[in-house]
Amino acid sequence: MAIDKDAIREHIRGIIKAIGDDPDREGLRETPDRVARMYEEVFDGMNYTNDEIADMFAKYFEMPESDCKEMVFVKDIEVFSYCEHHMALMYDMKVSVAYIPKDKVLGLSKIARIADMVAKRLQLQERIGTDIAYIMKKVTGSEDVAVIIEGCHSCMTARGIKNRSSKTITTTFSGQFLEDAALQNRLMLLCK
């Protein structure tokens, strides 16, 4: 599904009018086009299913099974997303991904690219973790995947309660990360 920039331009003009401003005044004339171009960029992940993202970033290196016993952990991948409830920015989001390889390791930059592409959707923080874990399992062939996300939400910091210091932490654990408390504790210590 391609982003419909013409429809976005039209609706942004309508929103500008609805909030009481003139979309034809200096300063706002090009805003509908700027927003349409921005949405095309920040919602790029809407164009792909999780399976398509997995296919895009399935760049891995074969490893003997005897070498694949320890976790691979990428910490503090910075992503931005938009809350599907308010279309508000979820920002200062840091995604940490761990997995235990099965005969192959994924290129490290691919893990960051997966997290970035999943975040480029109207999302919930909880679903971002679930989507990343699904893609990681598919790409690596390993059921042993963990995703930890810490983020701020402007729907809490800039409106409503206006609590600027709150952070939301979500976890998605599968395989050994779900079943082995010692492994889970080790991972959580690495996240600090």
- Tens digits of per-residue pLDDT, 94-117? 999 999 998 889 999 999 999 999
Catalytic option among 123, 152, 153, 176? 153
Looking at residue 41, what is its pLDDT?
Answer: 94
In the residue annotation, 191 being an active-site residue is answered as no
Catalytic option among 40, 68, 150, 155? 155
In the residue annotation, 155 being an active-site residue is answered as yes
- Tens digits of per-residue pLDDT, 29-39? 999 999 999 99
- Tens digits of per-residue pLDDT, 4-38? 999 999 999 999 999 999 999 999 999 999 999 99
Reported pTM: 0.93
Region 48-65 average pLDDT: 91
CB-based contact 174:145 (threshold 8 Å): yes
Given a cut of 80, whether residue 68 has pLDDT beyond it is: no
